[in-house]
Chain A
Amino acid sequence: MKSLLRKTALATLIGLSAPAMASLAYVSNEKDNTLSVIDTETMEVIDTIDVGARPRGILLSKDFTKLYICASDDDTVQVLDLATRKIIDTLPSGEDPEQFALHPNNKHLYIANEDDAIVTVVDVDTKIVLAQIDVGIEPEGMAVSPDGKWAVNTSETTSMLHWINTETFEIEKNIVVGQRPRHVEFSDDSKIAWASAEIGGTVHIIDVDKLEQIHEISFKVPGVNQDRVQPVGIELTSDGEYAFVALGPSNHVAVVDAQSYEVLDYLLVGSRVWQLDLNKDETQLYTTNGVSGDVSVIDIEDMKVIKSIKVGRYPWGVVIDPNS
């Protein structure tokens, strides 16, 4: 039965997927103050770029020409030009930027200032700070809905999701979730938000129209003590089929049915898996493993880990540039 399933899955996905194109993955190494550049075709590190102190959250501009880097201990957001791999600019970020999210307008950057309990909104073109919004303690996760209506911030110690109206820059709703919420991910249609709670061990599914929790997922990794199951990063496939949840020190990534919210499988990766990103054709998932200092590559067709790539110390964020 299992092999039948695999063959079916393989056939389906091979039929759908376009030929793989070489693209680059960027990984921020929190304790090395560098970015590792990985060629996703050869799965090898091809370059290491010096950046600011304690790089954590990273994201691509909507035109894929720039990479924004939270240099947490330098209290700044750096702008890396992808063509030259040089830092070309810095943005005012507020203190200790950890994670951020770019509005679909490609202009408004929402930055979580972890030490200050503030979300800073910066216009990346004019470098003007548009707003600073008081949120809970240790703001961490940031997401902007694909339709641009909502910016959501998670505050770790306050255990809340703060829903910020992107027109008024005001909080319209606070939703209490499990302990230490880390990350929020929206479905492509902006209707569902997924929020992970690291210490709670849960993922909370929020109906965006109603701003209410409609489901809560918990995880049981066979052979792993329950308090090591700590969800952090979330990645969704664009077809709405799967969600992948990084489960921290349990060293596993959960594969979740994004419609029924059932956990389908647990994949063993490196130590303390934090963040993850899919490549362009969604055939591979890259995960950063903080403690083992490597990146695991998961083949989506087979749902198997096919490679681990050594990067710098404490790899934190990963993004794959679909355009390179």
Chain B
Amino acid sequence: MFQAVFRTVSVIAVLVCTLLLAIPTAAADTVDVRIGYLQWIPDPGPVLSNVLPEPEDAGLRGAELATADNSTTGKFLGHNYALVSRMADSQQATIDAFEALQEQGIELFVVNAPADTLLALMDKADADTLVFNAGVADDSLRTSECHNNLLHSAPSYAMLTDALNQWLQMRRWNEVFLITGPTEADVAWANAFRRSAKRFGVDIVEDKPWTFDADLRRTASKELPLFTQARAYDAVVVADVRGDFGEYVPFNTWLPRPVVGTQGMSPVAWHRVVESWGAAQLQSRFQELAGRDMNSADYAAWAAVRSVGTAVTQIGQADASSVRQLILSDRFQLAGFKGRKLTYRQWNGQLRQPIPLVHPRGLVATAPFEGFIHPRTEMDTLGFDEPESTCRING
């Protein structure tokens, strides 16, 4: 009798949701999945902060790890994964490699190359080719320069700077001193920061370009206090994407204030210090494979290749149009070790993802933060929302 009463009450009072999304049983047929990986990283030129160089295989190793991850799953289902990687030394070489692999019948690509190379490459893409951008953060690719068969596993500058500005707002550090480096990427990062600051109510009280060309390893302590002289600010924000002068800003500011941005505490796609949500396992798998720590470029490539693997596991097909259709549907979810299921924005193909804020030896926080709400998902408080983008890649 107790049981009957309880049931009746529960039916009325409790919201019950039964998901009818059936997960298809594994197809018995063998499926071959070939993914092309293309990388071209132009020389960033001489930088002052050249003490700790970036690894040259950043990106590639992430794609390799994801292929190993896919293969372990695939062996139980008869799905065979292969990564065909090409490390190019110029834009033309990247495009040539892309066309050659397309001719071999490869339809799925992960590209880690500059924006202009990526766009030139997309002009050569067949209708049934699907490309994951795992390198370019430029906002224009998410707002206007879209392609129906281009997805982005790397976060945009706007996602990174929105994460940072949410955090500044949460800490009530609303007045910042912005220093912008001379490169195009620095300017793009700073523009993204200005947009985010406006969005989240952070006031840029000083906005100065970096013009010095002194060797700051010797003179940072003399140059920077003068450069950062201002009446009041809560934090100094550095836009120095290639890592030229930014490492010398912390502890050398006029006022005793923290440094954030591309140096100091940075918003990133990934970093060695991320360890929650099973990330410790991903980090140790990567360490074993590559003999170094996993970085943001590795993560973006990993996420792209794993997106393909997750889709193929689910549908048992590996043609680009079926993979694309599933990835852009609400049936897709990527387990990305960031504490939430990751999905792609249907309007511009951007992978939604939490953004860790890290310093070199520790995690500070992970955006989005409580209180920044969105009707769809809190992750859409980071980056360009549907009305802010003219892209409609999914019709």
Contacts and interface: CB of A to CB of B under 8 A. Distances in A.
Interface of A: 1-2, 4-5, 8-9, 12, 96, 114-115, 117, 136-138, 155-160, 162, 171, 174-180, 198-202, 213, 215-220, 222, 225-228, 241, 249, 257, 260-265
Contacts of B124: none
Contacts of B2: 8-9, 12
B42 interface: no
B117 interface: no
With most chain B CB atoms within 10 A of its CB, the pick from A8, A157, A160, A264 is A157
B130 to A, nearest CB: 21
Interface string B268-288: 000000000010010011001
A180 B314 CA distance: 14
B10 interface: yes
B127 interface: no
Given A9-B6, A216-B18, A177 B23 contact: yes
Interface string B300-315: 0000000000100110
Interface stretch (B68-76, B101-109, B208-216, B356-364): B68-76
Interface stretch (B55-63, B219-227, B256-264, B332-340): B332-340
Interface in B72-115: 72-73, 76-77
A113 to B, nearest CB: 11
Contacts of B314: 176
Given A136-B72, A157-B73, A264-B6, 17 more contacts: A2-B9, A9-B6, A12-B2, A114-B281, A158-B72, A159-B313, A159-B335, A175-B25, A176-B26, A176-B313, A180-B278, A199-B333, A199-B341, A200-B333, A226-B377, A262-B11, A264-B14
B378 interface: yes
23 contacts: A5-B5, A8-B1, A8-B2, A8-B5, A115-B284, A136-B72, A156-B335, A158-B73, A179-B333, A179-B335, A180-B335, A198-B335, A199-B333, A199-B341, A200-B333, A218-B19, A219-B17, A225-B378, A227-B341, A227-B377, A260-B7, A261-B18, A263-B15
B17 A218 contact: yes
Given A9-B6, A176-B26, A177-B23, A158 B76 contact: yes
Contacts of B26: 174, 176
A160 B14 contact: no
Contacts of B52: none
Contact of B76 (A174, A216, A225): A174
Contact of B14 (A199, A228, A262): A262
A56 B341 CA distance: 24
Contacts of B17: 218-220, 263
B16 interface: yes
A63 B2 CA distance: 35
Contact of B10 (A177, A215, A249, A264): A264
A87 B343 CA distance: 45
Given A5-B6, A157-B69, A159-B73, A178 B23 contact: yes
